[in-house]
Amino acid sequence: MGYTKIDLAEGFNLIGSQFLEVGATVKDVNDFIYDGSALLGLDDEWAYQTTMRVWTGNGYDIYGWLDGDDGTANEMPEWNNTWLLEDFSDVAAEDMDLGKGVWIVTKKAGTITVLGEVATGDTYTVYVVEGFNLIANPFPCEISVQNIKCDLDGLDAEWAYQTTMRLWTGNGYDIFGWLDSEDGTANEMPEWNNSWLLEDFSDLASAKLKVGEAIWFIAPTAGTVTFTK
């Protein structure tokens, strides 16, 4: 077992899971946060102040956080410290697999604690679909974006990125493009083969993916992405 603490800024936070399960239970969104005391629950009008947005491929499933008093106050004590469906009909049961990314949107900065079973090994592979994918650093340690490799297409014939990664900065994105094993050689920069390049093609990306941090991964086709410690 292990745990990490993730700092949340007010507003939008792109975070993800680094743990396989809690005990013998597969993680769902209600296992994802061990201590929810730092998250805002309902306001006086029974509106969510903290929400989780899970990407479905063409939109979001949205869940709202109820703190340690919200359920009791509304005669549903079993809802205390849980994520509820957007329409308040039931407790959320969405899986929170290792390497999955989500948005947490909150009206106040705070810190959450995530715990579970640590994955063994120094690599972990995530399957991505064509288009937009929200995936996360699967390890309880910081990694370089260059430790994220894929089997997807690099530059097209016009030297435009076909596979990109978008790292949330708090008010926008840093964007990196994938160069496959031929792209660098073809452009007289063989040291760029199988690497992420800055959006303006000026240099290799040097960004780090923090513990608990997620990214948008935009793929031209379905494929795999491998993270290495």
Kindly report, residue by residue over 54-89, the tens digit of the pLDDT: 999 999 999 999 988 888 878 888 988 999 999 999
Question: What's residue 113's pLDDT?
Answer: 87
Record the pTM.
Answer: 0.91
> Is a pLDDT exceeding 70 seen at residue 100?
yes
Evaluate whether 7 touches 109 at the Cβ level (below 8 Å): yes
Question: What's residue 184's pLDDT?
Answer: 75
Q: How far is it, in rounded angstroms, from Cα 121 to Cα 140? A: 12
Burial 54-64 (b: 16+ CB within 10 A, else e): bbeeeeeebbb
Tell me the CA distances in angstroms from 96 to 20, 57, 148, 170, 177, one per residue in order: 9, 16, 20, 23, 27
All domains of the chain, ordered by start, with CATH?
2-116 (no CATH), 123-228 (2.60.120)
Q: Which residues pair with 225 in a beta bridge?
A: 126, 150
Residues 185-205, mean pLDDT to the nearest whole number? 89
> Is a pLDDT exceeding 70 seen at residue 118?
yes
- With a CB cutoff of 8 Å and minimum separation 6, the contacts of 202 are none
Evaluate whether 154 touches 205 at the Cβ level (below 8 Å): no
Residues 79-108, mean pLDDT to the nearest whole number? 93
Higher model confidence: residue 119 or residue 155? Answer: 155
Question: What's residue 36's pLDDT?
Answer: 63
- With a CB cutoff of 8 Å and minimum separation 6, the contacts of 12 are 103, 104, 105, 168, 170
